[in-house]
Amino acid sequence: MVMSWLIIAEKDNTAKRIASILFRDVKTLKNGRVSYYYSPSNDAYVVGLKGHIVELDYPKELNNWKTPLEKLLQVEPVKKIKEKTITSILKEIAKNAERVTVATDYDREGE
């Protein structure tokens, strides 16, 4: 089984820059309108995100100001996938990734 390195960047242009700085043999791959970058000699992929690719929310019936806080703390959040193509690229590469580097901004939203 091939083990690869997955680097996740905040945006596409950041992913492209990271790939070009770290690797000499970068190839641009495309899935629909989403570009990502691959170095064959390092078996490394660099994928840029696009805003929030997954959002968490409360179930619709509880998503109002009248719901008691205790009830909100006990319920499982609902995942809403915003960027399906990027999510599927990440899932596919992550299956065989030996290393994952999160190269997003060092803030609450970049984690």
Domain limits, the chain: 4-103
Q: Determine if the pTM surpasses 0.85.
A: no
CB 61 within 8 A of CB 22: no
Average pLDDT of the residues of the chain: 91
Calculate mean pLDDT across residues 58-62.
89
pLDDT tens-digit readout, 61-75: 888 889 998 988 999
pLDDT reading at 77 higher than 60: yes
Count of CB atoms situated within 10 Å of the CB of 91: 9
Give how far Cα 79 sits from Cα of 32, 33, 44, 76, Å: 23, 23, 28, 9
- Which tops the pLDDT comparison, 53 or 28? 28
Calculate mean pLDDT across residues 78-105.
94
Q: May I ask the CATH class of domain 4-103?
A: alpha beta
* CA torsion through residues 14, 97, 90, 36, sign: positive
